[in-house]
Amino acid sequence: MINLEVPAKAKPLINQAYQAASEVFRPISRKYDRAEHAYPKELDTFAALVDGLNESGEGGAGASGVRRDENGDKGGNVNGANLRTVLGTIEMCWGDVALLLSMPRQGLGNAAIASVANDEQLERFKGTWSAMAITEPEFGSDSAAVSTTAVLDGDEYVLNGEKIFVTAGERADSVVVWATLDKSVGRAAIKSFVVEKSRPGITVERLEHKLGIKASDTAVIRLDNCRVPKENLLGSPEIDTKKGFAGVMETFDNTRPLVAAMAVGLARAALEETARILSEAGITVDYDKPANVQPAAAATYLQLEADYEAAHMLTLSAAWMADNRKPNSVEASMSKAKAGRSVVDITLKCVELCGTLGYSEDSLLEKWSRDSKILDIFEGTQQIQQLIIARRLLGKSSSELK
């Protein structure tokens, strides 16, 4: 059973993350929203501090891991690295989502490495800043359509293909690239490889201009006969048609709650700012009265807050299940679907409730409304999450339910 109270051992981490979000992220949030593609130098020192927290076992935000606790079945409930990472991510994204995505060594590629790499790989890639490269020009949400190829040549794999919308693709030291070993086999042949940016054959073609998260660079990456050691393949090199796509998709079970946590943090920021603006306008949200006897703005706010709470609980549940070695694929998709949709609804409605203040740059509300949309798209769109949930609940395969 899940205790809804924040674990006592996580409270220092939450406080530290909140202070960082308040004192480091918020003051420079608007600056780097305007200066798209400029690297936030202020994050270097702070990233080193987060690395120290991760090393000490206290946990940071973003990449410190979603690795399943092998002791999770030895009695009692476990509140481990997954929950701490999610709680830290919520606080950091209360400050700024794009700046968290811009932090060295806190990329989604790092989360993939932390989740599925073996002990030797964990040590070898320790300290790398890794982006995640899945999407290609020919497909978006259908990750099984990967056409980037990886061909074994001696002790190396030769990678060829193009990846788009790679978050931190220019700044990162390495990229976790999804590629297929054999197109004719289908999903089962898709594997992930850690490709260091220093290797010949990997180039950043361009950076994208975006609606939101402007502080975070989003790159197009080309792989042209890029050779990587076979030891850089994450997971098993064997093509298991019985297991199919499940092996590589486990990465999403681990990273989707992190994206949900980003959405939860951003939604909370918008709600708090809206409550402040409404209060200054003389509108008080009364939790002791039914919504239908309160001003329309207060009633709407209560509805938004209910959506936020649901997303929050689903996100914590998915992380807790991972800590306790329980299958969480459905819960990971549920948290991502609910949080991704809710944060868009919440931020846009908050802009509406706050009128000119919400639409102008006097407040961060308009920025948050732009930043929120990507959280409903990357790591699997809203529609894909609903499809995954439906397949799992109905016991249907991807070929039976499209």
Catalytic residues: 379
* 326, 83 contact by CB (below 8 A): no
Sequence-ordered list of residues with C-beta below 8 angstroms from that of 117, at least 6 positions apart, any chain: 125, 194, 234
Q: How many residues does the chain have?
A: 402
With vertex at residue 77, the alpha carbon angle to CA 118 and CA 264, rounded to the nearest 5 degrees, is: 80
Give the whole-angstrom CA distance, residue 57 versus residue 84. 10
| Cα first-last separation, the chain | 34
In the chain, DSSP finds a helix count (H) and a strand count (E) of: 13, 8
Give the whole-angstrom CA distance, residue 201 versus residue 158. 10
Q: What is the CA radius of gyration of the chain?
A: 21
Q: How far is CA 199 from the centre of its chain?
A: 26
* 283, 327 contact by CB (below 8 A): no
> Residue 395: how many CA atoms within 13 Å on its side-chain side?
0
Q: How far is CA 9 from the centre of its chain?
A: 23
| Amino acid found at 201 | G
Closest CA to 170 of 141, 212, 131: 131
Give the whole-angstrom CA distance, residue 378 versus residue 252. 11
Query: H or E element: which one contains 50?
Result: helix 43-56
Given the structure tokens 């079970």, which residue do they identify?
Answer: 253
Give the whole-angstrom CA distance, residue 331 versus residue 252. 11
Q: Please give the backbone phi and psi of residue 248, each rounded to the nearest 5 degrees, phi first.
A: -70, -30
Give the whole-angstrom CA distance, residue 341 versus residue 359. 20
In 246-362, where does DSSP find H-type helix?
Answer: 246-280, 296-323, 329-353, 355-359
